[in-house]
Structure 1
Amino acid sequence: MKVLVTGGAGFIGSHIVDELLEKKYEVVVIDNLITGQESRIPNGVKLIKADIRESLDSAFMSEKPDVVIHQAAQVSVANSTLQPLYDADENIMGTINLLNLSVKYNIKKFIFASSAAVYGNPGQLPITENHPPQPISFYGLSKLTAESYIELFSKFYGLSYAILRYSNVYGMRQDANGEAGVIAIFKEKILSGKNPNIFGDGHQTRDFVFVKDVAKANAAAVTYGENGIYNISSSSQVTVLDIIQEFESNSNFHVTPLFCDAREGDIRDSVLSNDKARSELKWSPEDTIRSGLKKTIDHDEAVSIR
């Protein structure tokens, strides 16, 4: 079986490619390399340098993929506020282009990377897939809109799909500048001997999921999960201060964070239920925040030594 991964040279996408190869799938990547890195593509994997908004008929005709895993996106909440038109073009129009191609070339399944951002401020915890979506950012809105297109493409054309709503993904290869999450930003500052900023009191909570677990969820969705939406998360609440403590224990650094005013629009607490993914995708996260952070730090220290 051949799987086409859009954004396969990116942070999450490249780990998905690695996981698919371990599962003995044939893999082809489409990436415009604006944020992705060609060096992340393993030997033997074909890279098609292209934008998901372009005409990709020749790629679909020549490669004949069975499954599309769509990871390519504008992923910055801040940039979506500054450039809502670009955010919508990339995340909505790019997805529609791929959906059209998937129907035209008889793709067996379309797997989409969505986000917990579609939920907005949670009315209850843990957040289940039945929680009403109320995005508070253009990024969350564009992801939710793309989800709706996927569901209607399935209704009108019979396209099979799985929508994966990621919580806060972290791990190796995450760029603190481009695909920034709090852990990537902290890691860069702490390992370079700088003090990280904490916005608010540090007791706000997030649901952090290790990138290797996210990759495994995508591989599982190739086989399991028919026309469903699934939270891909650790289902554990971790405070920002907990992250600082884990960095200290894993890196032998003493960390003195700089406390700043809370940012307007930031969600106070978030944790996603992954019960549905456990049941229907036959998937569960393998790494805790402690083990995942240790792997992330150990990997980056080994790379820097080389």
Structure 2
Amino acid sequence: MSGDKKILVTGGAGFIGTNLVNELRSRRYEVVACDLLNHELQDYIRCDVRNYRQIESVFNTFGPFDYVYHLAAEYGRWNGEDHYENLWETNVIGTKHFFKNAGEIKVQISFYKKYVFSFHKKRDFLL
């Protein structure tokens, strides 16, 4: 039964996050989405994953959560070259904050390598 599951989606206002939030809500899950951007819809929380206290506040105020999709990220060539510190703080430090918080509230963390890694056959391309 999906109605009794509560899900947190970080990066909920991004492209993947928005689509995931919409799909989860269409399946009747209770979804709380957080993002650095302000969003007009209900259950969107402004939260900067680089700030541990903000993450902690989301978990304490809106949790407990059955599932967390951590999609908050900075990406792209320009961010990597011109805004390295912001990319590092969001992608690495922000993720560390989630692991730390999950450890404090005794949440089980699962990794599925099939979603992280993919292998492709080598192809010859004509130029």
Fold shared, TM-score > 0.5 on shorter chain = yes
Separation in structure 1 between the aligned mates of residue 82 and residue 95 of structure 2, nearest angstrom = 21
How many residue pairs match? The answer is: 113
Write the mapping of 1:183-194 to structure 2, written as runs, cut at 5 A.
none
Following TM superposition, where does structure 1 have runs of at least 4 consecutive aligned residues deviating by more than 6 angstroms?
none
Write the mapping of 1:216-231 to structure 2, written as runs, cut at 5 A.
228-231=112-115
* Equivalent in the alignment of 1:208: none
Residue pair 1:3, 1:26 contacting (<8 A) in 2 also: yes
* CA RMSD, Structure 1 to Structure 2 (Å): 2.2
Separation in structure 1 between the aligned mates of residue 61 and residue 28 of structure 2, nearest angstrom = 20
1:6-46 CA-partner distances (Å, limit 9, x unpaired): 0101111000001111222110011110xxx625x4xxx41
8, 12, 16: which one aligns with 1:8:
12
Higher relative contact order (CA 8 A, sep 6+): 2
* Equivalent in the alignment of 2:60: 61
* Equivalent in the alignment of 2:39: 38
* Equivalent in the alignment of 1:99: 99
Q: Which residue type is aligned with residue 160 of structure 1? A: I
CA deviation after TM superposition for structure 1 residue 78, in Å: 2.5
Query: 1:31 and 1:23, CA in 2 relative to 1: closer, same or farther beyond 3 A?
Result: same
CA deviation after TM superposition for structure 1 residue 70, in Å: 0.7
Name stretches of at least 5 consecutive residues in structure 1 with no aligned partner. 108-158, 163-227, 233-270, 274-306
Q: Which residue type is aligned with residue 67 of structure 1? A: Y
* Equivalent in the alignment of 1:125: none
Write the mapping of 1:139-218 to structure 2, written as runs, cut at 5 A.
159-162=108-111
Residue pair 1:20, 1:27 contacting (<8 A) in 2 also: yes
Residue pair 1:61, 1:105 contacting (<8 A) in 2 also: no
Question: SS in structure 1 opposite 2:75?
Answer: coil
Name stretches of at least 5 consecutive residues in structure 2 with no aligned partner. 121-127
Q: Which residue type is aligned with residue 49 of structure 2? A: I
Q: Which residue type is aligned with residue 9 of structure 2? A: V
Query: 1:98 and 1:231, CA in 2 relative to 1: closer, same or farther beyond 3 A?
Result: closer
Q: Which residue type is aligned with residue 66 of structure 1? A: D
Residue pair 1:7, 1:31 contacting (<8 A) in 2 also: yes
% identical aligned pairs:
30
CA deviation after TM superposition for structure 1 residue 272, in Å: 4.6
Separation in structure 2 between the aligned mates of residue 85 and residue 11 of structure 1, nearest angstrom = 23
